[in-house]
Amino acid sequence: MTVRALVFDAYGTLYDVQSVRGLAVELCGRKGELVTQLWRLKQLEYSWLRGLMGGDEDFWRLTRASLEFALEAAGVAVDPKLCERLMAKYLDLDLYPGAREALDALAGRKLAILSNGSQKMLDALVEASGVGPLFADVISVARAKTFKPDPKCYALVEQALGVGKHEVLFVSSNGFDVAGAKAFGFKVAWIERGGGVTPASSDIGPAEFYKLLRGRAEKLGPGADFRIKALTDLPSVAARLG
């Protein structure tokens, strides 16, 4: 079946969550790298925890709780002003290199975002990066009152875009998201950013640890239909799918 819509994850796929690192190092000194990686890992963990426990937790509050956990774990004082500055960066994350080029090349196709972010967070992101007009919809999973990879999140795409699940190519760099989207019935393209590097020893830093844990394909759950290295590989994939 012809693909009628391309749907992108936001955090880690279009937008670089690691772009908080510079500010974290500025504000937290030598512990900034550790705070950066703990923050993202805990943010993901809290989204899964909240999804399993139930309840309508706003992703902004979840992200703030994750930051406070990371600061405490790293031994950095949880100062409100520090937290506010770091949180503000989540409203203006950097687009990955090639993101705008890829989106422009896909112009004329039905494009959308499906993200764990709250609607306010996502609207701020697309406005700050100037890509909002390229999308038919920016979909927050808050509409489903849970978080990915719950199937109810992926079902939002059909409702929002008026397409069937088999007419969607879902794009993500997150292994858990790939598994969830594929299990739901989407065609899936995984952006392989982990590099597949094997460490020489256990003596690695927080950034390397993060890549080993979150930058590889998952061994549990279905895999992607397409493995690509960058967003700029997408137009050729889309052309093959019609």
User: Cα dist. 237→3, 208, 232, 234 in Å?
Assistant: 11, 30, 10, 5
- Indicate if 75 and 126 belong to the same structural domain: no
pLDDT (0 to 100) of residue 242: 82
Q: What is the pTM of this model?
A: 0.96
Closest CA to 140 of 163, 112, 168, 106: 112
> At 168, which helix (H) or strand (E)?
strand 168-172
114 & 151 share domain: yes
Helix (H), strand (E) at residue 155? helix 151-161
Q: Catalytic amino acids?
A: 9
Same domain flag for 144 and 54: no
Q: Which of 73, 89, 105 is the last residue of a domain?
A: 89
Q: Residue 39: which pLDDT band, with cuts at 50, 70 and 90? A: very high
Neighbours of 116 (CB within 10 A): 27
Q: Are residues 79 and 108 in the same domain?
A: no
* 89, 109, 126 - which closes a domain: 89
84 and 113 part of one domain: no
Q: How many domains does the chain have?
A: 2
Closest CA to 114 of 224, 19, 6: 6
Its domain, for residue 188, covers 5-16+92-241
Question: Do residues 36 and 145 share a domain?
Answer: no
- pLDDT tens, residue by residue, 95-128: 999 999 999 999 989 999 999 999 999 999 999 9
pLDDT per residue as tens digits for the range 188-240: 999 998 767 789 999 999 999 999 999 889 999 899 999 999 999 999 999 99
Residues 193 and 125 reside in one and the same domain = yes
If asked whether residues 152 and 167 sit together in one domain, one would say: yes
Shared-domain flag, residues 37 and 58: yes
Cα angle 156, 106, 144 (rounded to 5 degrees) comes to: 10
Are 67 and 11 contained in the same domain?
Answer: no
Q: Supply the CATH number for residue 25's domain.
A: 1.10.150.240
